Structure 1
């Protein structure tokens, strides 16, 4: 086969042109391969690592804060706010109402003037006038101030708890959203990337897009390198053929092989171009994959980053403020005007209820005894017993005592008739002139029954007894 030097030069020039084209394409492909490898093997895993780290921290914080806040919520809402209201409604209010009821009855119970000492009658017109009204009013006012203060601080505490509960629900909603996105959109990608970067192959039944792309790109990179080396060798042979064409002693080039290689260049370049297209397509596929997955990953990172700051603020600042407010409220709930040491609002309320109950018992007893015992005893002492006394006195004076006096008088007369004439007048002579007798009866405690208004007062007293 006769091949001219010009033909060899044409082969060389063509080989150089194709080699330069291949090198440019190879440089572009290499940049794409590195970019794809960086995105799938470095950038994406790092974002996944941040998402995983953040979500783990968020889960820890959520698990830590949830029982703490629930305990605080129950302590405030159920044990304190509702507990105080229930204790007031079930204990304090009934005790106040019971006292108010008996005080009202005492205020409407009139006391007749004749039952009161004359000098006191203008001040004592009802049973309530006999009470320590100023002290009772002071106690009622103190209890009203106590309940009002407690209601105010509990309202503030309740509002603060509601605000914090609303924020906690909002944070919990964000937490649920972040974990839902992470579990549904990120975990599978994370496992895919993790398996793709493992030295060992993943389970065969698992489809792994990332591993497939990285593995295919590695093979394509090697193929490109091989083709580029082939084109470089072909060009080197063409250069050698030109330089040694005139020196037959140094010319060891097989022109027929070189000619055939030149003829195969289009197919090699076509293969080179096809590999490049696959690399570019892999870049597109990888970019599409990342574009689909990265927003979810970034969303998890953004949500979890915000949650971590929210949880820190919630736990270290807002819950602390609520606890301090709660402690101050407990102090107000324990405060009382009775100088009683109290460790809880229940003890304070019990102390007030005890005082109110004692007053209610005393005044109820006072009212009951006034109607059922006092008036009856007063009537007995002022009218029944005096009549009995006078009757007994009359019976004694006009009965037994009168008979004794008459018998004694008759006995003395008989004695004088028998023996009087024989007794000298210088001697004290027994007789009737020195006979003991009742000249005047002085009695005490009969003023009511002997007064001009006795009948009228007795009728009034009987009327009071009948009205009880």
Structure 2
């Protein structure tokens, strides 16, 4: 080898210088790029990655909190539908309104079974009547029809409300919950990866620090080699005879391997970091899913919920409207209808009871019992009291004439029997039910009176 080195020309050394410079320049470029990569890695490992870990944890918390708020809103609306519509209105049809309707219908049906004789009417007719003929059926039917319309519309609106709530809220919320389960499962799988990544950060930073040191050493070695080549060329140019090129020649032989080792070191570092990055790319995927779901939440809260709440308010306002003209402002239509039905039921129940237990008796009393009592009093008075005082007066006058008459002149008026007051005629009114036109008293419990007494007995039984 020493014999070969003695024949190395200046041109060879000059070529070594050129090759050393090219290699050094290539190494500088590689190291510069590697240094930029290491800096980016440092930024990502110390800033971006911790921020990413913190961000995904924050997103998970925010996402879960927002879903809980949506659940609370959906639960409140669902409860409001149940309490204000189903319990507050629809269920009251069965508990309040329908019983009131049934009570009134029962009373009206009862009125149809109670006969009304023509002779008790102010204007008798040939038609057969019952108590229902004297009930405001047309008005009641209109009221019942309006109640039916209200019930039917309320049921339809309730169904519309529940369908809209399902389509606008429940379906979306069910999807939110399904996605929530999926996201939590992904996050649960991601948590160990994040923890492992956090523990690897320090190790990677230490490895990168070692790589930086190696890069400096490579550059120092290649720079030194280039400087040695330059120095050897200068010595050869000055005809220096005592020149040892053995080390330099060996370095020249190793130069390709050095650059290869440099590239290998840089590539291994990049591969290691790329492999590390791939371990948490699922974070970005999960973040995208969460961001998409948060957008869905926002659309749900700004579109679906306002639409349904507006519909709900409109339905509640309609359900508070009644066909009744006079109702208390705080009174619901159901309470108003029920109250009116109960008043009608009370009125017609009283009507039936009074007719059966009071009116017929009072009618018999006024048309028959009292007139007989009145007529008896007159008869008793005429035949008893009037007759007695007349007889007393006659006896008084006879006695007085016998005692004093002979002492009085004939020119004086003397009381006599002919001038005695007497009842010539008694004129009565209102006795047509117990007397014929000629004044003869009708027999008891005959004709209309018998019909009336039988009716009283029937209704009493």
TM range (shorter): 0.7 to 0.9
User: Which residue of the partner structure matches residue 108 of structure 1?
Assistant: 113
Please state whether the residue corresponding to 1:244 is helix, strand or coil: helix
User: Which residue of the partner structure matches residue 335 of structure 1?
Assistant: 321
- 1:111 CA displacement: 0.6
Alignment partners' CA distance in 1, 2:286 and 2:263: 39
CA contact (8 A) 1:23 1:228 kept: no
The answer to whether residue 432 in structure 2 is matched with residue 441 in structure 1 is no
- Aligned CA-pair RMSD: 4.2
Provide Cα deviations, 1:75-116, integer angstroms capped at 9, x if missing partner.
333223431123333323322222222122223322111221
- 1:157 CA displacement: 2.6
Match of 1:241 among 228, 232, 238: 232
Please state whether the residue corresponding to 1:336 is helix, strand or coil: coil
- 1:295 CA displacement: 3.3
- 1:209 CA displacement: 2.3
Alignment partners' CA distance in 2, 1:10 and 1:341: 118
Alignment partners' CA distance in 2, 1:255 and 1:466: 153
CA contact (8 A) 1:334 1:343 kept: no
Alignment partners' CA distance in 1, 2:350 and 2:410: 74
The answer to whether residue 267 in structure 2 is matched with residue 282 in structure 1 is no
Alignment partners' CA distance in 2, 1:82 and 1:9: 106
Match of 2:368 among 367, 372, 383: 383
CA contact (8 A) 1:386 1:446 kept: yes
The answer to whether residue 297 in structure 2 is matched with residue 297 in structure 1 is no
- 1:268 CA displacement: 5.3
Alignment partners' CA distance in 2, 1:136 and 1:274: 101
Match of 1:459 among 438, 450, 460: 450
Please state whether the residue corresponding to 1:99 is helix, strand or coil: helix
Alignment partners' CA distance in 1, 2:375 and 2:329: 65
- 1:339 CA displacement: 3.1
Match of 2:95 among 90, 106, 131: 90
Question: Mean Cα displacement is larger for which, 350-359 or 180-189?
Answer: 180-189
Task: Give runs of aligned pairs for residues 364-443 of structure 1, distance below 5 A.
Answer: 364-409=349-394, 412=397, 428-443=413-428
TM-score (normalised: structure 2):
0.77
User: Which residue of the partner structure matches residue 227 of structure 1?
Assistant: 218
Change beyond 3 A, Cα 1:32–1:460: farther
- 1:374 CA displacement: 1.2
User: Which residue of the partner structure matches residue 258 of structure 1?
Assistant: 248
Unaligned regions of 5+ residues in structure 2, if any? Answer: 437-441
TM-score (normalised: structure 1):
0.76
User: Which residue of the partner structure matches residue 158 of structure 1?
Assistant: 162
- 1:7 CA displacement: 8.8
The answer to whether residue 152 in structure 2 is matched with residue 148 in structure 1 is yes
Please state whether the residue corresponding to 1:338 is helix, strand or coil: coil
Alignment partners' CA distance in 2, 1:16 and 1:139: 113
CA contact (8 A) 2:117 2:128 kept: no
CA contact (8 A) 1:30 1:221 kept: no
Match of 1:128 among 120, 128, 132: 132
Change beyond 3 A, Cα 1:238–1:39: closer
Please state whether the residue corresponding to 1:449 is helix, strand or coil: coil
Unaligned regions of 5+ residues in structure 1, if any? Answer: 196-207
Provide Cα deviations, 1:144-170, integer angstroms capped at 9, x if missing partner.
333333333333233222223214413
Provide Cα deviations, 1:434-459, integer angstroms capped at 9, x if missing partner.
33333333333222233569613233
Alignment partners' CA distance in 2, 1:354 and 1:393: 52
Change beyond 3 A, Cα 1:96–1:359: same
CA contact (8 A) 1:37 1:214 kept: no
Please state whether the residue corresponding to 1:146 is helix, strand or coil: helix
Change beyond 3 A, Cα 1:154–1:56: same
Alignment partners' CA distance in 2, 1:341 and 1:254: 122
Change beyond 3 A, Cα 1:233–1:36: closer
- 1:65 CA displacement: 4.5
User: Which residue of the partner structure matches residue 78 of structure 1?
Assistant: 83
CA contact (8 A) 2:13 2:232 kept: no
- 1:214 CA displacement: 4.3
Alignment partners' CA distance in 2, 1:413 and 1:147: 93
Alignment partners' CA distance in 2, 1:17 and 1:466: 141
Alignment partners' CA distance in 2, 1:109 and 1:231: 128
Change beyond 3 A, Cα 1:23–1:247: closer
User: Which residue of the partner structure matches residue 201 of structure 1?
Assistant: none
- 1:259 CA displacement: 5.4
CA contact (8 A) 1:112 1:125 kept: yes
User: Which residue of the partner structure matches residue 335 of structure 2?
Assistant: 350
